[in-house]
Amino acid sequence: MHPGDRTAAWVFSEWLIRPLSLVFLPLMLFSLNGALQGYHILPYLTYGAPAGIVVAWLWTSFRLGAQVAELRIVDDRVQVRSLWELLRRAPPDAPLPIWDLRREGRSFTFTTGHRTYQFDDAEWHDGDAVFKALVDARTPDSSRPA
C-alpha cells in the first residue's frame, strides 16, 4: 500500500472513488424515482450531493489514516506509519517496543504502543519476511542464534 512516487492527490482520488460511488448511487436512484413520479427533486439534489461528497471525503480520510503503509524496524523497536502520514510527509513518530507478536494461520498480530495491528500475509509483498523481521526485533540480542 506504499504510495511510492504517486502524488497525494492521485492516491486520495483512488481511495475516494468507491465511497463517492456508494454515496451517489442511492442519491441518483431516489432522484430518478422521484423525477419519474413527478416530484420536485432539485432540493434533494442541492443538499444531497454536497452532503454525499462530505461523507465520502471524511470516510476516505479516515480509511487513509487507518491503512498501514509502512513498517520500519529500528533495532528492537518498530515505527508504524499510515498512508495518510506518508502522503502528508509527516515526520515519523519515535519507534515503540513490540509488546506482543502472534502468528495465526496466514495472518499475524502485533501490539506496539497502545495499538494492536493485524495483517494478512496477502497485504504485504512478503508477509513471512515481515513477520520474521518483527520476531527478530522482539528477540533480545543475547538470545538470538548466531
Q: What is the reported pLDDT for 62?
A: 95
Rounded Cα distance, 100 and 40, in Å: 58
Q: What is the reported pLDDT for 104?
A: 87
Q: What is the reported pLDDT for 89?
A: 87
Output DSSP code: residue 12.
H
What is the distance in angstroms between the CA of the first residue and the CA of the last residue of the chain?
A: 34
Could you give the angle at which helices 42-66 and 8-36 cross, rounded to 10 degrees?
A: 150
Output DSSP code: residue 16.
H
**In a structure prediction context, what are the per-residue pLDDT tens digits for the chain, which is 146 residues long?**
677 778 888 899 999 999 999 999 999 999 999 999 999 999 889 999 999 999 999 999 999 998 888 888 888 889 999 999 988 888 888 888 888 889 888 888 889 888 898 888 777 777 788 888 888 888 765 454 54
- Regarding pTM above 0.85, the answer is no
Q: What is the reported pLDDT for 122?
A: 78
Q: What is the reported pLDDT for 140?
A: 66
State whether residue 52 is helix, strand or coil.
Answer: helix
β strands within the chain, DSSP E: 68-74, 77-82, 96-104, 107-112, 115-120
Task: Dihedral sign for Cα 28, 32, 35, 37, please.
Answer: negative
